[in-house]
Structure formats: structure tokens, C-alpha cells
Structure 1
């Protein structure tokens, strides 16, 4: 009896399992064959609400243009004035630097200019030097004077020789740097001076003092370094993109934080022919008047160089789309049609950019919402292809019917459904058949 019940129980379980398996197979079959078909993708154009794209042409209806804020401007010929802004540093005017040197040998007993930064006028006394050479030159001149006076009644040849000796003695004093007034005083008193007063051959500001009292100096030895600060140089750095626009003789405006609201002017006098490899810049030298001495060496300044550009076609900078490899604008054709066009650009100034080729006078370009219009062309090229990586266009939502006389394997209960040709996510190389 127990064995009979066990047998019946096993038969009931088997029948139930068979019914469940049959139901699952039937449900999967209905799911696959009744799934809605995916419509074929149209690759010829992409269209969204209010916009239609065909290649490089975009068409926007009135509502789409209003929402995007499309604005346009006409291509015109115009002369631009470019401002090159840079920084610079004030430096000494090298052409006005000079050394005050000694013309005699001797001992410096007294200095009249003792500090760097002092101003020395041309001919100003700067030191008192005890010099045997100077004393001997004075004595020679006094002897020559005496000879000329005592031998006035001698023969013509003697008088000429004495006069030549007197001229030579005078010339020697002049070469030592003795002023004509001191020579005239010596001629009048016939008394030589023990100390020679050294006077400045040039005028300027003392940049360096190279001697002290008690020093023994030789002819040609440097005593002071002077620089005339009434004119200074300013060196500015120009980047590579600005080199072509700067020429010698151009005006430069200079401002400094040291003098707010005050502007100084200068002129480009030299452009370094060698580019600095580390900074990728070129040094430009600007010469500036400095009568009040406000522009001090090593002062940092801001500089603006005005560069007038030749007349050419220009467009607003906002209309240009720069991809890195292409310069693109959108040209209007009618009210609702915009066509992409490649152009070649020049320099930028005053909010405009030069157009060297690609546009004609009278063309109208998009100045606002050009990026949004360009995004529509990108959607037209790529948006409708997402997930279609290589399947044939014959795929559809319905599974292909089995050929006559063939049998299909029954579905396995609980197994994941087989991939269908109508589903695009995750497949890259299947065919629709």
C-alpha cells in the first residue's frame, strides 16, 4: 500500500513539472513573437522638434530660433587697431652711461662727491689730487712764459721756437684736464698749485663710486660711473603671436603703480633678433624721456603698444567656432537656414577678427547661438547612430519564422531569453538575418 502511494505521488509531481515547463515555453514563445518591431533607422537626416539637419545645413523654425537666441551680423571691411598689452622693466640708458677717469697719477687727498646717487654736473670739481706730473707741467708752462718775455728782441727763429714751446706747455696742461680759466690764473700769478682739482668730463647721476680718500690713482683709472637719467630705456616682453605687429618707431604708452593715473610715452627703438627659448618671448627696447626722474631703473611698468592693422574683412569674435584644427562660422541663407563654412582668420582686435578667406563682403554670419546650431549638426551625424554598431538594416522586431520542415529546440524553462536581432544594446557585429 505504501509503495502504491509513493508511485502515485511521483506521477503527480512529474505531471505538474511537465505542465509548468510547457507553460513557460509557451509564454516565452508569445513574448518573442509578439514583441513590437523596431522601426528602421533613417540615416539620411536627423530631425528634432523645430530643427532639421542635412549634412552641414541646419534649418530652424521661428520658435527654435527664438529659443536659441540666434543673432547675426554682416561681413564688412574695416580697419582695426590692435592693442598689445605687456609688462616691462625700466633700465638705464646705456648710450648715456660714462666713466669719469683720471688723467694723471697721484694721491687722492680729498673727495668732493662721496655718495652714489649724487648728481654731477659737467665740469664740476670731484676730487683734489696731489700729482707730481701736474706740478711739473705747471713749472714747464711758467718757464715757457718767462722765455718768451725775456727773448722778445732775439732773432726771428728764437722767437718762433719759444712761442712753440709755450703752446706745447699750454697744450699739455689742457690734456691733463686743466680748464682755460685755471691756466690763465697760473699765467697771471706764476705760482704752481700743489693739488690738482679733478673735474668731471661728463654730467650725470653717480651710479658707482670707485675710489676713497688716500687712494693712489693712475692715468685712465675709473673714478665714478655716471648715467644720465633724463632719458631711460624700458624693456618689454612680446609673445610670438604679437611679434609681427610691432615695428621700430611705434608709439608705446606706459603706466606704473607708483604713479596712479599718470601715463608716460615712449618709442620702440630696437627689437631683439633672437627669441628667448625659455620664455618664448622677444625683448623690445623702448626709449622714454624722463625729465622729472620719476621712471627709476628697475621699476616695473605696464605697457600698451598700438598696432594699426590694414583694412580687411572682419567678423565679430563671437561668431567664430575654433575646433583647434578648423575655424568655422555659420552663414545664413534666408531666415531659417544656416550653412557651416570653413574660413582662414588673421589677427584679432577691438572684438573683431580678420577673415583672410572663406567669406565675401555682404555675407551674414551667426554671432549668437552658433554653438547650439553646431550641436544640431553633431546630433545629425552621431545622435541617430547610437547603439547601431554594425548590424544590417534588415533587422526588425519580430523573430524570423523557422523554415518549413525544420524543427526548433524548445526553450529551457528559467533560461534567459536569446538575443534578438531587433535589440541594439550591447551588440556590435550581428546581422539581421
Structure 2
């Protein structure tokens, strides 16, 4: 409106025109270049507000029933020194992707300080309540094609593989649903080498014999 008023007052056409947006945000795409023609209704540029962002994660089909919309989520950002912020589940896609058979989950997070940038890596932890469960470090768990195993120390000093059933964990710890008891001594580092030695000595189909270490 101010440009139209200036035109009526000065009776002079400017070589440039200022285009004002009715929303605040960051320019994410410019659809025209110098010398291009523009017409009414044509998209000139796109802006996006970054005060609130979406985090997208993927769930396996057997995990989708464990979560629901409005669940509270902790978001950890490695690029920001592991800073943890609160988020909320806004959407769970009811359809699975055709190839990977995973479902998309979308989480809203605040970004009032503008520190979070689209494309950053995040870790999510969904859960609530005060429930406790037995858990082991993620590095202790191996997958042998038949399921998940850990190596447990025996009373005679040897180590034996044990089949376990795991729950949904994070990048650090994985809950154990069955197969381990509180007090069991589990190999945390070097389980892969121990498993390789067991396969070398006993064969891939018979790795349940204890190994003296």
C-alpha cells in the first residue's frame, strides 16, 4: 500500500519493487531469478517459520501399538552437546512404507531460541511413568540370525551365549524382557570377538558351549 501511495505522490515508477510477506520466517526457496517475468498468483519465494519444528522418526510395525498421539517425548540433540528438550507426538502414520515396512512418527518440538536447524540428527526417547526394567548396554547385544544373544559369565569363569528377548531401547541401553536375571554378569565390550571365537571353535550352529577366558 505504501508503494502505491508513493507512486501517486511522486508520479515515478521505481526500477525495483519490494514484496512484503504477511508471515515471518526464513526463506527456504526462491522460485524466480533476475530477468524472469512474474504473474498474478505466481509463487515468488517460500518462507518457513522455525519457531516450532517437526522431528520425524520411523517405527517398526510391531512398535506402532506402543505409542499414541500426545505422548511426551525427550529429544536429544548431539549437535547441541546432547541437549534434551521436550516434544509431543503429533502424528503416527497408519500406513507402512512399501519397501521397509516402517511407519512414520512425527513429533513437534519448540525452537524459540532458533538453535535447532532442519536436518539435524536427533535421538528420541518415548516413555512415561515410573516403571523400571532390567536393561543392558546396547553394545552387549548381538544378533545371530535366530534372535538376540548376550554373553554371560559362568561361575567357573567361562562365558556362555544366552538367548534373550529385548524391548525397545535407545542408543545406550536396551531393556531385557526375558532371558536374564538381575545379578547376571554380561560381557559389555568384546562380545563380537567372543562370539567369533565361539563360532570358530564350535561352528555357527553350536555356539552354546561355555568358553574359558
* Category of TM-score, reference length = shorter chain: 0.5 to 0.7
Q: Distance in 2 between matches of 1:237 and 1:254?
A: 14
Contact 1:235-1:285 within 8 A present in 2 as well: yes
Q: Give the counterpart of 2:89 among 242, 256, 268.
A: 268
Residue 13 of structure 2 is aligned with which of 194, 214, 217?
A: 194
TM-score by length of 1: 0.29
Aligned residues: 147
Q: Greater CA radius of gyration, 1 or 2?
A: 1
Equivalence for 1:289: 110
How far 1:202 sits from its partner (Å)? Answer: 2.4
Q: Does 1:300 align with 2:116?
A: no
More helix by share: 1
In the TM superposition, what is the alpha-carbon distance from 1:208 to its structure 2 partner? Answer: 1.3
- Find runs of 4+ consecutive structure 1 residues off by over 4 angstroms: 314-317, 347-354, 366-369
TM-fit CA distance, 1:198: 2.7
- Corresponding residue for 2:158? none
Q: What's 2:207 paired with?
A: none
Any gaps of 5 or more consecutive residues in structure 2? 136-145, 147-164, 185-213
Q: Aligned equivalents of 2:27 and 2:182: distance in 1? A: 60
Aligned-residue CA RMSD (Å): 3.6
Relative contact order higher in (CA < 8 Å, ≥ 6 apart): 1
Alignment CA distance shift 1:254-1:194 (3 Å) = same
- Is 1:256 the counterpart of 2:77? The answer is yes
**CA deviation profile, 1:350-403 (whole Å, cap 9, x unmatched):** 96759xxxxxxxxxxx9779xxxxxxxxxxxxxxxxxxxxxxxxxxxxxxxxxx
Cα distance, 1:252–1:367 mapped onto 2, change above 3 Å? closer
* Secondary structure at 1:194 match in 2: coil
CA distance in 1, matches of 2:39, 2:183: 77
Residue 285 of structure 1: CA displacement? 0.2
CA distance in 2, matches of 1:348, 1:223: 46
Over 3 Å counting, the alpha-carbon distance change for 1:301 and 1:368 in structure 2 is closer
Unaligned runs of 5+ in 1: 1-177, 318-323, 325-344, 355-365, 370-433
